Amino acid sequence: MYSRFFILTILLTCYCINSLQAQLGFCGGNSGDPIFTEDFGAGTTDGPELPAGTTSYQFTTGTPNDGDYTITSTTNYFDWLSLQDHTPGDTNGKAFIVNASFTAGEFYQREVTGLCENTTYEFSSWLINLQPANSCEGNSIPVNVRFQIWDETDSNLLAQGDTGNITNTGTTEWDQYALVFKTEPGQTSVILKMRNNSNGGCGNDLAIDDILFRTCGDNVTVSTSNNEASLVVCETQGGVSRTLTATPDSSVFSTHAYQWQQSTDQQTWTDITGENSAVLNTPAVTTTTYFRTKIAEDAVNINNDLCNVVSDVFDITVLPLPDAPTSNGDIIICEGELGTLSVSTQSNYIVNWYDAEIGGNLVLAENNTLEIGVGGTYYAEANSTAIECASTTRTAVSLTVNPLPIVPDDTSTFLCEDSFTTLDAEVEDATYLWNTGETTQQINATAAGEYNVLITNTNGCSAMRNFNVEQIDLPIIDTIESDGASILVATMNTGNFEYSLDGISFQPSPIFDAVEGGFYTIYVQDNTDCGVVSEDFYHLVIPKFFTPNGDTFNDTFAPDGLEVFSNIAISIFDRYGKLLKFGNSDSTSWDGTFQGEQMPEDDYWYLIKADSSQFKGHFSLKR
C-alpha cells in the first residue's frame, strides 16, 4: 500500500515538473507537408457546430456570451475588434470564436490520427485577442491558452505549453503559436487539447484559426559543391545540370533515408527514380525546375508523407530570352531641348540603351527611358536583372533634333516723341507672336519699353528676339544767357543735343564763344534727327573789364549790340552808388574818368535801358 502510494506520488511529481518546464516553440529544422489542417471553412452562415465531444462550450449562431462559441466569418460582437479570419485567400473565411467561460478550463479537444510512431511533429495555430485597447476600463482579462498533446488513451501527456498573457492591445494582427512533440513507439494518433488558463468575464475573448500538424525533422540544406543555394541561367546555355548535396544537421534524426523529387511549379512533386542518396546529379534541364529531397529517419517511412520531412528547395531558374522592347515611338525635339525616348518590356526585365544595333557603346543602363539631347538613332535591349540574358535584337528609336530659327541679335532702337518706330523680326517663312499680342512680322511701337517676338519656324521650333525701345524727347530750352562775348544755352532735359546759331551748322557744346552782340535765333536738336526747337535771343556783349591805359586796346567800356535799339540810356556807378557817367544812344561808352579825373582800379556798376529792355551788372576797371 505504502509502496503504491509512493510510486504514484513520484509519477505525479514528475508530471508536474514536466508540465512546468514545457513551453511553446516552433520546429527548429525542416518540416514536411501539412498532414492535418483545420481552417473552419468559409461562408456567411455561422457554423457548423463542432462535432460532439470537441468542446464543453455552448454553440450559438448569434452573439457568443461567456461560455459560448461560434464558427463565423465576422467578429462584430459587443465592442470587439472587427477583423478577417487568418486563412490566406479566404473569402468570408471563418474562425473559431470563443467567449471564455467564467471558470478556467478546457474548451477544445480533438483526435489527430494517421501519425507515425517515433516521429517528431509540430502543432501550430493562430490566435488573436478580440478585445479593443483600454476595454473593461483598462482591466480586461488577458487571453492565456494552454496547448496540450496527449496520447490516444488520453492518459499520457506528450507535450504542453502556454501562450502567456495575450493582452488587448487593439491590434488586428494574428499571432502564431507552436508546440513540438514526438510520438512514442506504436503510437499513431494523439489528442489535441486547448485550455483557458484565465477565467471569463470582462475580457478573455479570442479567435482561433488555421490549426496545423506537420512533421518536424532535421534542418536540411541543399547546395552545390560551390555552395550555390540556387541557380539562374539563360536558355541560350542549353541543358543545365548540377550535382546537389543534401546536408541534414542531425538535430532530430539519427539516421537518414532520401528520396529526391523534382517539380516545375513547386506544387506537384515527382519522385526521381533511383535517387535515394544524399547526392543528386540533376538531369539536364531546359526550363525552370525545382529539386528537393524527402527525408525520413527510417527508409520504410520515406514515402509516407505523414512521417517524412522535405529539404530546402534548390531552384534552377531558366530564363527565356526576352523579346526585344517595344518602342513607344520616335521623338522630334528642337535644338537645346532634351528628348525622352522610351520603350516597354516585360516587367521582370531591364532595358539597356546602346548607340549601335550590334555591339557599340552602352549609353544608359537599366532604364526604360533615355533622356538625351543629341540627335540620332538609339537601340534598346532587354536583359535580365539576375544574369546576362539579353534579347537577340535591339529596338531602334530615333531622336530628331530640329534647328531653331536663326534670328538677328537683340536690338536697341528709339522712337521720336509723338511718333513711332517699326520693329521687324527679320525672319521669313515663320509665325510670330509679339508680347503685344500681334502676330505680324513687323509692328509699330508707339511707346518706349521692352518688346519681344517669339519666332516659330516651319519645324515648330521657336526662338525669341528682344527689342529695347527708348523714346527721344525734343529738347526743352530753359535759359539763354550772355556771358561776355559768349552765349550760354541751358536745357530743362538731357539728351544727345546739338546747338546752332544759324540752323545749319550745329555743335555739341551749348556755349558759343566770341559772338558779336545782336539778335540771334538759337537752335537745339537731338542728334537722332527727331526735330529741332528754336528761340530768339538778344545778345548784348558787355565787357567784364577794360584797361584805360592809353594803349588803344580795350581802353573804353563799350557794350556791343546796342545799336539795334532806338532809345538807349546808360549809367555807370561806383561801388557806393555815385553816378559817374550817363549817356544816350550817341554816347554808350566810358573812358574811366569822372570830371577829368581818372578813376581808380575797382568794380563798377552799369544800368542800361534799351527800348523796353533793361540790363544791369558790374565790370572791372584795370590799369
pLDDT given for residue 16 in this prediction: 36
pLDDT given for residue 498 in this prediction: 96
Give the pairing type, strands 243-248 and 279-281.
antiparallel
Q: How many Cβ atoms are within 10 Å of 488's Cβ, its own excluded?
A: 12
User: What does the block give as the cell for 526?
Assistant: 537731338
Q: Bridge-partner residues for 166, per DSSP?
A: 143
Q: What is the pTM of this model?
A: 0.55
pLDDT given for residue 585 in this prediction: 81
Q: Which CATH class is domain 326-402?
A: mainly beta
pLDDT given for residue 297 in this prediction: 87
Check for a shared fold between 326-402 and 545-621: yes
* CA atoms in the 13 A half-sphere facing the CB of 132: 11
- The per-residue pLDDT for range 406-450, each reduced to its tens digit, is 999 999 999 998 899 999 999 999 999 999 999 999 999 999 999
Q: Which residues of the chain have pLDDT under 50?
A: 1-22
Which CATH number applies to 411-472: 2.60.40.10, 3.90.950.20, 3.30.70.1450, 3.40.50.300?
2.60.40.10
Q: Are 213 and 35 in contact (CB under 8 A)?
A: yes
The closest alpha carbon to 329, from 260, 263, 397, belongs to: 397
- The per-residue pLDDT for range 285-340, each reduced to its tens digit, is 999 999 999 999 889 889 988 889 999 999 999 999 999 999 999 999 999 999 99
User: What does the block give as the cell for 246?
Assistant: 543534401
Domain extents in the chain: 19-215, 220-319, 326-402, 411-472, 477-539, 545-621
DSSP letters, 558-577, are --BSGGG-SSEEEEEE-TT-
Burial 124-141 (b: 16+ CB within 10 A, else e): bbbbbbbbbeebeeeebb
**CA distances in angstroms from 439 to 334, 425, 436, 448, listed in the order given:** 21, 11, 9, 20
Give the pairing type, strands 511-512 and 497-500.
unpaired
Domain 220-319: CATH architecture, name and number where available: Sandwich (2.60)
Helix (H, G, I), strand (E, B) or coil at 161: strand
pLDDT given for residue 118 in this prediction: 85
DSSP collapsed to 3 states, 452-463:
EEEEECCCCCEE
Say whether domain 19-215 belongs to CATH 2.60.120.260. yes
The closest alpha carbon to 188, from 106, 306, 277, belongs to: 306
User: What does the block give as the cell for 322?
Assistant: 526576352
What residues contact residue 56 under an 8 Å CB cut-off, 6+ apart? Answer: 105, 106, 107
pLDDT given for residue 238 in this prediction: 86
Residue type, 129: N
Q: Are 438 and 426 in contact (CB under 8 A)?
A: no
- The per-residue pLDDT for range 196-209, each reduced to its tens digit, is 999 999 999 999 99
CA dihedral defined by 608, 614, 620, 623, rounded to 10 degrees?
-20
**CA distances in angstroms from 155 to 108, 182, 523, 571, 588, listed in the order given:** 17, 16, 134, 155, 158
Q: Which CATH class is domain 545-621?
A: mainly beta
Which CATH number applies to 477-539: 3.40.1160.10, 3.20.20.80, 2.40.40.20, 2.60.40.10?
2.60.40.10
